[in-house]
Structure formats: structure tokens, C-alpha cells
Amino acid sequence: MTEYSKKRKAFLNAMGEYTKHDVAVAFSGGADSSLILKAACEEAEAYGSRVYAVTMQTELHTMEDLKTAEKVAEETGAYHIVLRINELEEAGIEMNPVNRCYLCKRLLFSRLRERVCQLGIDMILEGTNADDLKAYRPGIKAVEELGIVSPLKDAGFTKQEVRQMAAEYGISVAERPAAPCMATRFPYGTRLTKEKMLAAATGEAYIKTLGFYNVRLRVQDELVRIEVDRDRLEQVLKYKKEITDYLKRLGYRYVTLDLDGFRSGSMDLELGGKGGI
């Protein structure tokens, strides 16, 4: 049995245990939580249990993220609940503090637990994987404090293995790029506003329409730094005028291309530690 097969078996065995009763999945519509949701729905059939996909609609995520979550939840047959939360105000993260992810996750998962407790549900699953432990992810502390279970991490699944199993299940978002919250586009200590985050999200969406997969706009005052996969840097220059004109219409004065290419967590480099978002 291969290492992947062992992890797969351990994951499904655990999911079988978790779904003996009704269960909730913290659901973003990404590959990780979609795999958990799909596996939960399939395993729950044996027990007649209900699976609830709970999505948080917040100021830090785009409407595209919500639409994707709605689509995948429908594909799996899960009961879908959307919680609307203004974490900018309620979690005290307007100034983008270094522990933003912890404060935000603590608020979101506390609200999630309150909601599913009304349904008589105690078991909540979420999508942290083993690779996330290598990055700067203070939100994991909040997950652990609140007793949320991370079956992919517990089984030792890497992101690549998550995508592999999601593809085996026929999950439509198996290869969907990671979609971290829009606060990750700004340096720590920067005041976050809806307008700033909407501009960054709009700019990224436009560049993706030109055929780019991983896209981040890192915003520093009036300067925007474009990150794409390193092997696509030359392709960006073919659209130099279109991209520059579009981003300047969004309010950016200076448009630059990061020659290091896309790096997950590049705004965390100032911390002198791990990247990851």
C-alpha cells in the first residue's frame, strides 16, 4: 500500500466515524473543504446523517468565493448555511494586525459553533492540511482552541494529495487556486476598507481573464505589485498596456511586476518567518 493510499484510508475511516451523527463542515468552496464535504456526504449515507456546509460571507472574501461555495454545496447534496459576518468591525482587525488570522478565525468559528449548536451538532470539520503547518497560519490556534477537527491535517494530507483525491471524487474545484482572504494583499498595520479590498479583487479578477492561474495584487499605498507564476512573467508583459490602464482606472498610481513571481504569503516576509497566504 502506498503512502497516499494509507492516508486516504485513514481519512475515510475517520470521516466514517465523524458522520455517524449530523456534522457541520466549515465550507469555503476551496479544494480542501470541498473534499471534506464530499467525503462527509458519502460516508453519512450509511447512517442517514445530515451534513451541513456552513459558509461565512464576510468583508474579506469575494462574491465569487460565495458563488463557488453555493455551487459545490449543491453538487454534493449538503445542506448549505450562509452566515453573514462583518469581521472587520467585530473581530477588531481594521488595522490588519499580525494576529489578524487568529482574531478572525476565532470570531468566525465561534459564530459557526453557535449556529450549529442550534441544530444539535457538536462535530465541526474544517480544511487545514499538512502543508498549512509549514506556513504562518495563526488561525490554526483558534481552530484548536474551539475544538474544531481537521481531518486532512490529521491524516497527513498534503495539498497535492488533497487535489489528487478531490479529482478522484470528481469534485469540480479540485484544481481551484487557493483563495485566501483579501487582507493578505496588504502589509500588516494597513487600515483595511471595503473599497481597498474590492479594488484589489477586481484587478485580480481582470488579470485572471487574460489566462493567468495564480494572481495576487500586493498593495502598498498607491503602488500595486503584480504576482503571477514565475513561468508566466513574460506573458504579463504582452498585456502591459491593458493591465496598466485597467489598474490605474482602479486608482493605483504605480503598477509594478514582481520579478520573483507568485509567492504564497509574500506579505509575511517582513515577519522573518514562514510564508503561506
Question: Catalytic amino acids?
Answer: 181
**Is 218 within 8 Å of 185 (Cβ atoms)?**
yes
β partners of residue 216: 227
What 8-state DSSP symbol labels residue 190? P
Q: Which three cell numbers stand for residue 14?
A: 475517520
d(CA 178, CA 187): 19
Q: Give the HSE-up count for residue 57: Cα atoms under 13 Å, Cβ half-sphere.
A: 12
d(CA 55, CA 38): 15
> Is residue 202 exposed (0-12), middle (13-18) or buried (19+ Cβ within 10 Å)?
middle
The phi, psi pair for 215, rounded to 5°, reads: -135, 130
> Is residue 229 exposed (0-12), middle (13-18) or buried (19+ Cβ within 10 Å)?
middle
β partners of residue 123: none
d(CA 185, CA 202): 13
Query: With b meaning 16 or more CB within 10 Å and e meaning fewer, what string describes 115-148?
Result: ebeeeebebbbbbbbbbbeeebbebbebbeebeb
Distance spanning both ends of the chain, measured CA to CA = 33
